Amino acid sequence: MKREDLIKIAMAVFFLVCIAATSLPVRQVVVINSSTALPVAITNRSVSVFSVTFWGLRGDRTTNTSCVWIGVTGTNNTAQTIPVDPGQWVTVTAAPGTKFNLTQFSLDVGTANDGVVVHYQPEL
């Protein structure tokens, strides 16, 4: 089986698990960073979430060239501390009784035009 097929299957399973776990809608945003010089914000729209999953993909079916990093600040490259390897995913969950805002996260890339597919469930 091709790597792309495995990624599609994993994403489908992730969606099914999220839908089964809660009635809240699962949302997706794709973030691409065209510059290796500075991190970019995941979003500038305020969205409260309890957990967020970052996939090492440039799009639904396109794996990154190299590792990307997620951080909680967009000021410099050294603050991006969560590595996401190509085709892999990392889920970040808030401590019980707390939540994140997606504006807190930023993306840094080692290869221009790599990115992340971000899955989250907004707080309603």
Say if residue 43 is exposed, middle or buried (CB neighbours under 10 Å; 0-12, 13-18, 19+): middle
Higher-scoring residue by pLDDT: 58, 61: 58
Distance CA 41, CA 74 (A): 6
CB 84 within 8 A of CB 92: no
pTM score, whole prediction: 0.76
Pick the CATH number of 3-122 from 2.60.120, 2.60.290, 2.60.40, 3.40.50: 2.60.120
pLDDT band at 86 (very low <50, low <70, confident <90, very high): very high
Tens digit of pLDDT for each residue in 105-114?
999 999 999 9
pLDDT recorded at residue 71? 87
SS3 (DSSP) at 47: coil
pLDDT recorded at residue 28? 86
Structure-token match 């994140």, residue found:
100
Per-domain boundaries in the chain: 3-122
Tens digit of pLDDT for each residue in 14-38?
665 555 555 567 788 899 999 888 8
With 80 as the cut, is the pLDDT of residue 77 above it? no
